[in-house]
C-alpha cells in the first residue's frame, strides 16, 4: 500500500465460517489498516461455510460493498483472508477499487518497518513468495507476450517471464540470507562460549515487548502503540538482582493467522527463542483476547522446538486494569503481572528471571574419552567450562550445562552433582 500524507479511505470485508472469532479478527484488521495508513469507512462480513471461489464474499455482498464504496468515496478494499489470483481479478473488475488481502496488508506494514539489511531481505522474500501463486488468474495483463531479445519465435507469455524472474529473485534472496545466517551463527557461538545466558522476549504484536526491553535495560528501542512497531531483533545487556548478567533479546511480534511465508522468512530471527535459556512470553494482560494471543505465541514456540526451555508468562499493561481479574491464572513461579510503562511488578519479574536461570543450568563433572572429543566440544559450545584436566582416561571437565542437555552427557558423568542437581 502506498503511504500518503492523508489516510487512504478503505473498506474491510471478511467472512464468518466459524473457524475463528470474526469480530476480533475484523477489529484486528482495522488496527492493521490504521497502522498501514488507511481510514476505515466501513466493515462488511458475510456468514459462509467457505470463501466463494469467484468473489470470496459472494456476488450479493460484493454488490453491496460496491454501492457503499461509491457513497463513502472509498478507494481501497481489504479482505480478511488470502485471495486467489482469480478472486483478486474478479473483485477488482466488479468494484473498480484497489483490492488487497490480509497477507498483502501485513507484508506492506513489514516492508515499512524493517530497517536492517536482513529484515528488508526477509520481507522481500516473503513478498516474492506471496506474489508467485497469485500471478495465475490475476488478470489478462499477465498473459501478454513478452517483448525483446530472447522472446521472439514461439515466445513465452508475460506470466511465464514474471514467474521465472520471481523464482530467480527468491533464489538470490535465500542465498543472501544464508550468508547472513552464517554471520549470526558466529556471533551466537561467541555468545555461547562466553557463558552469558540469553533471555528472549516473545509475544503478540503490541504486547509491549519493546517497552519492557527499554525499561529493563535502559535501551532506546522504537516504541509506538501500533501493530508491528518494530521488526528487527534487538539485544541488550540485562543486569539481574543476584549480580548475574544476561542478554535480553526482543523478537518480531506475532499475530493470529500470521502469513506462512512471513513465519518462514522470519524463522531465523524467531529461532533466537529456541537458543534462549529463558523465554518471557509477553501478552497484553488488559486485552480481552490475551488467552488467544498466548495460544498463538505458544503454537509458534512449539513449532520452533522450544518445549524444553523454561518460560515465564508476563502479563503486561496491568496498569490499565482496576485490579487483577479473578479469572487470571494464579500467580506462581512462572507468572508475573507487570506494567512496563509504570514499572509495577518488574522487581519480581527480575527475581523470577534470576531464579529461573539458576535452575536452568546444572553443574557437572564429566570424564570424556579422547575418542569422544565431540562431547567435549559440545560442552564448550553450549555450557561454561570452569576446569579442565587431562588424564590417561580422557579429559575431566568441570562445567555448567543447560539442564535440557543433561541427557547428552549422562554416560560421561562422574560427579556427585547428580544428587545436588537432579534431572
Tell me the pLDDT tens digit for each residue of 384-395: 788 899 999 999
Model pLDDT, residue 149? 30
| Fold of the domain spanning 197-358 | Rossmann fold (3.40.50)
Q: Which CATH class for the 8-110 domain?
A: alpha beta
- In DSSP terms, 38 is beta-bridged to 8
Angle of helix 117-134 relative to helix 85-95, nearest 10 degrees, comes to: 80
Lateral strand order in the sheet of 361-368: 361-368, 394-402, 384-391
Residues of the chain with CATH 3.30.70: 361-420
Model pLDDT, residue 155? 41
340 backbone φψ class: left, alpha, beta (φ>0; ψ -120 to 50): alpha
Instruction: Name the strand (E) or helix (H) holding 291.
Output: helix 290-303
Residues of the chain with CATH 3.40.50.11060: 8-110
Q: Specify whether domain 361-420 bears CATH 3.30.70.
A: yes
- For 145-198, the pLDDT digits (tens) are 344 333 333 444 566 777 888 889 999 988 988 888 776 665 556 555 556 788
- Global confidence as pTM: 0.69
- For 207-251, the pLDDT digits (tens) are 888 889 989 988 665 445 444 445 556 788 888 888 778 889 888
- For 272-331, the pLDDT digits (tens) are 777 788 999 999 999 888 888 898 888 888 887 887 788 999 999 999 988 877 767 665
Residues 6+ apart with CB under 8 A from 340: 208, 211, 212, 214, 215, 316, 317, 346
Q: What mean pLDDT is predicted for residues 111-128?
A: 79
Angle of helix 117-134 relative to helix 158-194, nearest 10 degrees, comes to: 150
Model pLDDT, residue 103? 87
What cell numbers appear for 47 in the block? 456468514
- Give the max Cα distance, the chain: 88
Residues of the chain with CATH 3.40.50.300: 197-358
Model pLDDT, residue 421? 45
- For 43-98, the pLDDT digits (tens) are 999 999 999 999 999 999 999 999 999 999 999 999 998 898 889 989 999 999 99
Amino acid at each position: 500500500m502506498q503511504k500518503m500524507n492523508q489516510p487512504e479511505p478503505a473498506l474491510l470485508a471478511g467472512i464468518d465460517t466459524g473457524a475463528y472469532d470474526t469480530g476480533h479478527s475484523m477489529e484486528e484488521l482495522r488496527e492493521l489498516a490504521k497502522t498501514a495508513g488507511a481510514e476505515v469507512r466501513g466493515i462488511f462480513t458475510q456468514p459462509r461455510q467457505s470463501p466463494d471461489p469467484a468473489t470470496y464474499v459472494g456476488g450479493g455482498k460484493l454488490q453491496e460493498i460496491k454501492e457503499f464504496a461509491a457513497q463513502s468515496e472509498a478507494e481501497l478494499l481489504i479482505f480478511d483472508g488470502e485471495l486467489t489470483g482469480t478472486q483478486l481479478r474478479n473483485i477488482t473488475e466488479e468494484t473498480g477499487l484497489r483490492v488487497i488481502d490480509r497477507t498483502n496488508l501485513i507484508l506492506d506494514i513489514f516492508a515499512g518497518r524493517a530497517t536492517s539489511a536482513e529484515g528488508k531481505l526477509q520481507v522481500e522474500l516473503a513478498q516474492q513468495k506471496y506474489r508467485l501463486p497469485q500471478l495465475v488468474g490475476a488478470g489478462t495483463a499477465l498473459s501478454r507476450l513478452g517483448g525483446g531479445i530472447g522472446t521472439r519465435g514461439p515466445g513465452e507469455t508475460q506470466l511465464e517471464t514474471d514467474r521465472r524472474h520471481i523464482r530467480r529473485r527468491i533464489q538470490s534472496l535465500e542465498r543472501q540470507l544464508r550468508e547472513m545466517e552464517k554471520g549470526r551463527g558466529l556471533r551466537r557461538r561467541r555468545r555461547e562460549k562466553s557463558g552469558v545466558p540469553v533471555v528472549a522476549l516473545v509475544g503478540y504484536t503490541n504486547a509491549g515487548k519493546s517497552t519492557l526491553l527499554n525499561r529493563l535495560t535502559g535501551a532506546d528501542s522504537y516504541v509506538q502503540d501500533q501493530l508491528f512497531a518494530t521488526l528487527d531483533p534487538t539485544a541488550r545487556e540485562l543486569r539481574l538482582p543476584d549480580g548475574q548478567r544476561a542478554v535480553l533479546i526482543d523478537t518480531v511480534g506475532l499475530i493470529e493467522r500470521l502469513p506462512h511465508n512471513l513465519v518462514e522468512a522470519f524463522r531465523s530471527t524467531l529461532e533466537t527463542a529456541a537458543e534462549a535459556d529463558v523465554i518471557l512470553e509477553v501478552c497484553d494482560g488488559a486485552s480481552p483476547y490475551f488467552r488467544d494471543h498466548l495460544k498463538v505465541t505458544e503454537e509458534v514456540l512449539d513449532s520452533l522446538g522450544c518445549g524444553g526451555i523454561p518460560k515465564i508468562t508476563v502479563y503486561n499493561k496491568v496498569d490499565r486494569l482496576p485490579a487483577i481479574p479473578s479469572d487470571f491464572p494464579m500467580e506462581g513461579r512462572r507468572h508475573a503481572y507487570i506494567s512496563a510503562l509504570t514499572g509495577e511488578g518488574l522487581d519480581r519479574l527480575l527475581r523470577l528471571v534470576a531464579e529461573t536461570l539458576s535452575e536452568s543450568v546444572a553443574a557437572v563433572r564429566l570424564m570424556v574419552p579422547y575418542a569422544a572429543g565431540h562431547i567435549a566440544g559440545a560442552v564448550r559450545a553450549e555450557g561454561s567450562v570452569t576446569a579442565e584436566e587431562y588424564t590417561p582416561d580422557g579429559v575431566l571437565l568441570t562445567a555448567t550445562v543447560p539442564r535440557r542437555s543433561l541427557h547428552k552427557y549422562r554416560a560421561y558423568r562422574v560427579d556427585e552433582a547428580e544428587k545436588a542437581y537432579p534431572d
